[in-house]
Amino acid sequence: MKELENLKPAKVWQFFGELMQIPRPSKHEAQVSAYLQKFGHDRGLETLSDELGNVLIRKPATRGYENSPSVCVQAHMDMVCEKNADKKFDFMKDAIQPVLDGEWLTADGTTLGADDGIGVAAAMALLDSDDIEHGPLEALFTVDEETGLTGAAGLSTEWLQSSMLLNFDDEDEGEFCIGCAGGVDTTVAIPYNTEYASMGKAYCIKVSGLKGGHSGDDINKGLACAIKLLARLIWNGAEQCGIRLSKIEGGNLRNAIAREAYAVVVVPSAKAGDLEGLVKELGENMAFEFRSTEPGLSVSIQSTEMPRLLIDSDTQNKLLNVLLAVAHGVLSMSRELPGLVETSTNLASIKMDDKEIHIATSQRSSVESAKLAAAQKIEATFRLVGARVTHGDGYPGWTPNPDSRLLKVSVETYQRMFGHEPVVRAIHAGLECGLIGEKYPQMQMVSYGPTLRGVHSPDERIEIKTVQMFWDLTLEILKSLK
């Protein structure tokens, strides 16, 4: 890819370019898993894979480093697949198209896949190089991090031989992450009946132009949830104009804040003008409320073809009330670590089939009991309208170890190289370190990486210069652990 040809470090960008051409949605990593296995075998390296598709490649220590501690570098091979509504793109077969934007690399209308493709590429570059000083090295590539962390959850407790792990899935250059939140998904099903649409006028009401973003890292940034805004519009439309709901859809992935949502409604002809005015007024109010965080927010109402069926009035009433009432966003902040979100919930998506309305949410917390309480709060809210609620298995948080040798070496190395102290913190997002640490409780772990922004959305981008910094830092950490 010509956009990547002159970027440094060349080997990292080369492998990143190759990854961009391989479809790798979560739960569909067979092609990239096979690619990584072939990569390891072609270089004569010990290469293992498991039934999930996880790949582990081992590389012997370089001369003079045979007695250094074994280090595992780790990244996940799957990516979040989000695109702009007007972008024609098939994530199961199309290659990501990179776009140079000044000091950043982004993609043409889709997620870039730097989360965590750049981590995979860096690990591959380490394995491929013959001029790097390091002790015994393992590279672990996991599947399905983005939609359940099932790759890390299914990892064998007998696989890893390392005592230290460098996770390449952080998104801010200049920081080391040493702890993260645990999480659990809560899904909701609301059965409904249908009624034939009577006379009136049909509209499509849409919320779009939102930033979206990561449901952990970005949940405290004042971003709007398209589903919550749409629910507010339709609830008011039902109360003031008597609208009837035919279809509602919004959001996509449980770990992304919903960027777009729309509904098809029918309003009595005599109230059509009132509805148009109401949507315009509420849209202006919302734009003002989110003027500093969502400058692209758009609320539209357009005439559309009359639908044949409507959601029954009783279910509509329950649905609109619960969507307006259910919690979304930060539930509590940490009392011990200022600025850290402790517990949150994300109203991630709403979809329909011909029998049920399906709603996906996700809860996160750095306190296990608070995570459970958040999931119960969501369950209780939806139980009020007779919904069927189920919870996923969830995943554990990662308890910080501020006294580990790995962290000490990493911080000292960063300060020596760049002349200032890095930030050491825990994050509200989920990392595979929690699951890996549960299986390997003595493992020392640190997470870091180059700077990414807009992850889990088509605005995803990576700051090019920080990739070189990340690479140089990794080489020096490996060297300094001797």
Q: Which residues are identified as catalytic? A: 78, 145
CA 303 to chain centre: 34
Contacts of 437 (CB under 8 A, 6+ apart): 396, 398, 399, 443, 445
Given a contact cutoff of 8 angstroms between Cβ atoms, the answer to whether 54 and 150 are in contact is no
**182 vs 479: CA distance, rounded Å:** 32
**314 vs 453: CA distance, rounded Å:** 42
Provide the residue count of the chain.
482
Reported in sequence order, the residue ranges of 338-419 that DSSP labels E, i.e. its strands, are: 341-352, 356-365, 388-391
Report the first-to-last Cα separation within the chain, whole angstroms.
37
Given a contact cutoff of 8 angstroms between Cβ atoms, the answer to whether 316 and 322 are in contact is no
Reported as half-sphere exposure (CB side, CA atoms, 13 A), residue 27 has a value of 4
Given a contact cutoff of 8 angstroms between Cβ atoms, the answer to whether 80 and 455 are in contact is yes
**286 vs 297: CA distance, rounded Å:** 8
